[in-house]
Amino acid sequence: MSKLKIAVQKSGRLNQDSLQLLKDCGISIDNGKDQLKVTAPNFPLEILYLRNSDIPQYLEDGVVDIAIIGENLLIEKQNDLDIVEKLGFSKCKVSLAVPKEVEDDSLSYFEGKKIATSYPNTLNNFLEANNINAEIHTISGSVEIAPNIGLADGICDIVSSGSTLFKNGLRETKVILRSEAVLAKSPNIKIEQEQILEKLLFRMKAVLRAKNTKYVLMNLPNSKIAEVSKILPVLKSPTVLPLAEEGWSSLHSVIDETKLWDVIDKLKNAGAEGILIVPIDKMVL
């Protein structure tokens, strides 16, 4: 039977979130210690645990069919790979940073300066686009220490919370790009694997939709149903169920989490009572 081969990060910030997404999709993963290849018993999927920096090349060569990887790495490696879905986790920025005593936030500060980075291609493209001439020092790790030891005047690196910059006496001045985990596809994927990928994508989208939405229930007078229905950003129309109390109904809907509190305020002002907000496990359209 054909199997879809997926690469995930062997260790690091993407590993746990990637495996959790697959588990949320109903895929059983039982990998023992130090296993680098695992076959799911309940879905035609083979999981390969690979070093993060190697994954783009494995995709390009067709060794794996798909991979969960940071978009920033695909951009840096300059591989011509299709992104089939943005996954919404492991969000970060690739940013320029300078010693905190430097008061200049402008890009012109870096003119003629030395910049240490693990993302030379991303940085070079950005500098060229902004007509900045700087000397790029490529180092593989501990980029934040470079200004402190006199290697560079600033750095270009991944920023998540900013705590690592702060601990090393640096501050962020310019965001070069924003990144998140994505599902990328090999250009050499076969038809049989494409069909399995469609099934996996169907599950992933159901999980991802649910993470960004909430199920909302409320009670309101029947005279307010039309007004409240206009407030709700629903998929089609809200569900309305009569209550035992004459003239009242229970209205059910789904709300995008980013709009939740603004909508709740409007609902209360429109006369809704007893509002319940419930998490959604899966959401299939």
Q: What is the pLDDT of residues 102-142, one digit of tens each?
A: 989 999 999 999 999 999 999 999 999 999 999 999 998 78
- Looking at the DSSP bridge assignments, the partners of residue 157 are 95
pLDDT at 258: 83
Cross-strand bridge partners of residue 45: 4
Closest CA to 109 of 154, 162, 75: 154
What is the pLDDT, as a whole number, of residue 191?
94
Q: Say if 4-89+180-210 and 92-179 have the same CATH topology.
A: yes
User: pLDDT, tens digit, for every residue of 1-42?
Assistant: 789 999 999 988 899 999 999 999 999 987 766 778 999 999
- Predicted confidence at residue 79, as pLDDT, reads 77
* Beta bridge mates, 4: 45
pLDDT higher at 260 or 85: 85
Residues in the chain: 285
Q: 90-102 pLDDT, tens per residue?
A: 999 999 999 999 9
CATH code given to domain 92-179 = 3.40.190.10
Residue 179, pLDDT score: 94
For the segment 236-261, the average pLDDT, to the nearest whole number, is 88
Handedness of CA 56, 54, 90, 283 (dihedral sign): positive
Query: Is residue 284's pLDDT more than 90?
Result: no
User: What is residue 235's predicted lDDT score, i.e. its pLDDT?
Assistant: 60
Q: What is the CATH number of domain 213-279?
A: 3.30.70.120
Smallest CA-to-CA distance from 57 within 72, 46, 67, 44 is with 67
Residue 229: its pLDDT value, please?
Answer: 86
157-213 pLDDT, tens digit per residue, is 988 877 888 888 999 999 999 999 999 999 999 999 999 999 999 999 999 988 888
Correct CATH for 4-89+180-210 of 3.20.20.370, 3.40.190.10, 3.90.850.10, 3.20.20.150: 3.40.190.10
Residue 57 tokens read as 């090349």
- Number of neighbouring beta carbons within 10 Å of residue 109: 19
The mean predicted confidence, pLDDT, of the chain is 91
The domain spans of the chain are 4-89+180-210, 92-179, 213-279
Question: So what's the pLDDT on residue 126?
Answer: 95
Give the integer Cα–Cα distance in Å for 269 and 27: 44
151, 143 contact by CB (below 8 A): no
